Amino acid sequence: MQTAVPLNDQLAAQTKVALRRLASAVAVVTCRDGQARHAMTATAVNAMSMQPPSMIVCVTRASAFHAALSRAGSFAINILHRGQVQISQGCGGTVRGEDRFGLGGWSEDHGVPVLPDAQACIVCVREGRFDYGSHTIFLGRVTSVAIQGTVDPLIYVDGRYTGLPTDEDCAPPFQSQIDMLCAGFGQSLS
């Protein structure tokens, strides 16, 4: 006899499979709650409006970050660079609390922790929230923006990290193969 899986659980499992295909940039969202700094890796980050410039971030109510962000007046969205996998993993769960700020060179913008060598830091004043199910959408009106370096964001898709296709992706194996081939020809000619 088959055990019936509740419809909601089936749909959740299928939705998760579909979401593995919803490639997205990776951001670390940060805030200050009194003396304590908080950071959490998030992929559910989007623009809301440009009139006024505003952003949304979706956070699970089960997290300590949710409690901190509910009290904080401001937050920052730090869009990570391809080279910042360790920061993503740390702020995604492998490192706890204040120790997350030991990963990377953190700074502050109006009291909010920011990561100056991220692809972009967008600081927002929290202006609204929308609760549904297990999560809350926090809405922030943008108050400052900083950009760093060329466009090369960290991307999360299909349960793994990647970056954009670049010439450099191909160059090392290509050059090593050429060297090997040429070495082979050199030997056969000597």
- Measured on CA atoms in the order 44, 151, 113, 146, is the torsion positive or negative? negative
**Phi, psi (rounded to 5 degrees) for 85:** -60, -40
Q: CB under 8 Å to 112, separation ≥6 — which residues?
A: 30, 31, 32, 74, 75, 76, 123
Selected from 5, 23, 64, 183, the binder of its own copies by CB under 8 A is 23
Question: Is 12 a binder of its own copies (CB under 8 A)?
Answer: yes
Instruction: Mark residues 94-133: x for contact with its own copies by CB under 8 A, - for none.
Output: -------------------------xxxx----xx-x-xx
Question: Is 53 a binder of its own copies (CB under 8 A)?
Answer: yes
Selected from 46, 86, 94, 107, the binder of its own copies by CB under 8 A is 46
CA dihedral 136, 105, 73, 124 (to 10 degrees): -70
Cα gap 101→187, rounded to integer Å: 53
**Cβ-based nearer residue to its own copies, 95 or 141:** 141
Nearest-approach distance from CB 179 to its own copies, in angstroms: 11
For 171, the token pair is 């160059």
Cα gap 111→35, rounded to integer Å: 10
**Cβ-based nearer residue to its own copies, 22 or 36:** 22
Residues near its own copies (CB under 8 A) are: 8, 11-12, 14-25, 27, 43-56, 58, 79, 119-122, 127-128, 130, 132-135, 137, 139, 142-145, 147, 151, 153, 155, 157-158, 162-166, 169-170, 173-174, 177-178, 181-182, 185, 189
